[in-house]
Amino acid sequence: MGLFSFLTQEIAIDLGTANTIIIHNDKVVVDEPSIVAIDHTTGKLIAIGERARQMHGKTHENIRTIRPLRDGVIADFHAAELMIRGMIKMIKTKNNWITPSLRMVVCIPSGSTEVEVRAVRDSAEHAGGRDVYMIYEPMAAAIGIGLDVEAPEGSMVVDIGGGTSEIAVIALGGIVCNKSIRIAGDGFTADIQAYMRHQHNIKVGDRTAEEIKIQVGSALPDLENPPDDYIVRGPNLMTALPIEVPVSYQEISHCLDKSISKIEIAILGVLEQTPPELYADIVQKGIYLAGGGALLRGLDKRLTDKINIPFRVAEDPLRAVARGTGIALKNVDRFSFLMR
């Protein structure tokens, strides 16, 4: 680094399917939905983040809204690059940077193939990254939760994001066994859309389904302090006339049941592969939940009852991965063995 080190800006990026968070100088400087709006005719960027999300599902033929990431990996290379570049620009305008070079740590799903890792690295480099490091999401989540990942004891993290659920057992600074499944927040949203269509004959878009999940989403059919019913408005599928339907949390727990069961099976699968010494540590410490999916009402209780190991929701689970990525960035030398 030497003489020009003061010219190198360092940022940590949690490139998520649903949200992208950028950390600079230990502060969250960007926290925006992972979505871009592009002019279909010229290919120019119109909006990114929250502004693009407001356009989603409401555009005319000249504007396309694109979510560049699907299932935790880059599905649209060009849009991803535009999005990363635009979000880095957001920080620059706030902080008046003059940046000859950027050092980045980006987190990736633990089940990423070499091609997928390459795509993230290329996007980051095209967006201006000179040194690009990768860290696996469950490892970043564990660091962000505050677990000592280098200790000779087992820690288990379940990170339920937008595109993937990452389940990993970590010890001595490495992932001992892990599983990455493509059932997560987006899957829950799709389940809710299908349920509303079949059960109530009402057509709802992504944003409304997401809103239902946030307002009345639940993993259990009986909660101690239940949320009020949420009123959904939309067109009747048969008549196209407007209808209003109250949706209760019991209905949503019923419609998410299958997907949550698949996550339970994946967690049990990872526990099966876990060496017995580490298993004992996990039973004693409990399993940590991170990611937006951890906010689903009653999920920790349901998993605890099913698996007989206490599940704990991390504080601010939405930003646990980003926090961990930020800590890894500050200690690149110490955590270099975790990076790719």
Query: What domains lie within the chain, and their CATH numbers?
Result: 2-140+321-338 (3.30.420.40), 147-183+256-314 (3.30.420.40), 187-255 (3.90.640.10)
Band of the pLDDT at 40, cuts 50, 70, 90? confident
Q: If you search the block for the tokens 């001595």, which residue do you land on?
A: 172
What pLDDT sits at residue 335?
77
State which amino acid sits at residue 116. Answer: E
What pLDDT sits at residue 2?
46
State which amino acid sits at residue 270. Answer: V
Convert the pLDDT of each residue in 153-197 to its tens digit: 999 999 999 999 999 999 998 999 999 999 999 999 999 999 999
Convert the pLDDT of each residue in 90-129 to its tens digit: 887 666 655 557 889 999 998 888 998 999 999 999 888 8
Cα–Cα distance for residue pair 247/268, rounded to 1 Å = 32
Indicate the SS3 state at residue 316: coil
Least confident window among 125-134, 203-212, 310-319: 125-134
Average pLDDT over residues 131-141: 93
What pLDDT sits at residue 146?
94
Helices (H) and strands (E) in the chain — how many of each? Answer: 10, 17
What pLDDT sits at residue 112?
87
Band of the pLDDT at 3, cuts 50, 70, 90? very low
What is the DSSP annotation of 47-85? EETHHHHHHTT---TTEEEE--EETTEES-HHHHHHHHH
A 10 A CB-CB count for 186 gives 23
Band of the pLDDT at 36, cuts 50, 70, 90? very high
What pLDDT sits at residue 246?
97
Band of the pLDDT at 248, cuts 50, 70, 90? very high
What pLDDT sits at residue 233?
95
Q: Is the pLDDT of residue 4 over 80?
A: no
